[in-house]
Homo-oligomer: A and B are copies of this chain.
Amino acid sequence: MKLIMAVIQDKDSALLSDELVEANIRATKLSSSGGFLRSGNTTFMIGVEDDRVEEVLNIIKVNCESREQYTTSPVSLDVSLDSSIPYPMQVHVGGATVFVLPVESFHRF
């Protein structure tokens, strides 16, 4: 048994939840903030058998991996003329910081 603590961005939380449910892996979400990732994160606490750790890590990687997105700047605060034309802006989204912890014993009551 291992306890996986995964800090991910809020925006990836719903998708990760769904994929873990699909894989029949149970997780608890802890409210968290700041630090490992930019503001707005969630910590997943996932208990799994040793032989499924790699599978869970892969589910986290596929759904939460840090990636770049192009976004169109929605508003321009610059008064110069040319800035009024929206242009694509590259932003980093996602990312996961994951700790796999040893478990001494596991109980369900």
Contacts and interface: CB of A to CB of B under 8 A. Distances in A.
A55 to B, nearest CB: 13
A95 B66 contact: no
Contacts of A35: 17, 20, 26-29, 45
What's the number of copies of this chain in the assembled complex?
3
Nearest to A102: B104
A23 interface: no
A109 B64 contact: yes
Instruction: Pick from A7, A20, A28, A108 the residue with the most CB of B within 10 Å.
Output: A28
Interface residues of A, number: 44
Contacts of A27: 34-36
B99 A103 contact: yes
Given A98-B109, A100-B105, A32 B30 contact: yes
A99 B47 contact: yes
Interface string A42-58: 01010100000000010
Interface of A: 1-3, 5, 7, 17, 20, 26-37, 41, 43, 45, 47, 57, 60-61, 64-66, 95-109
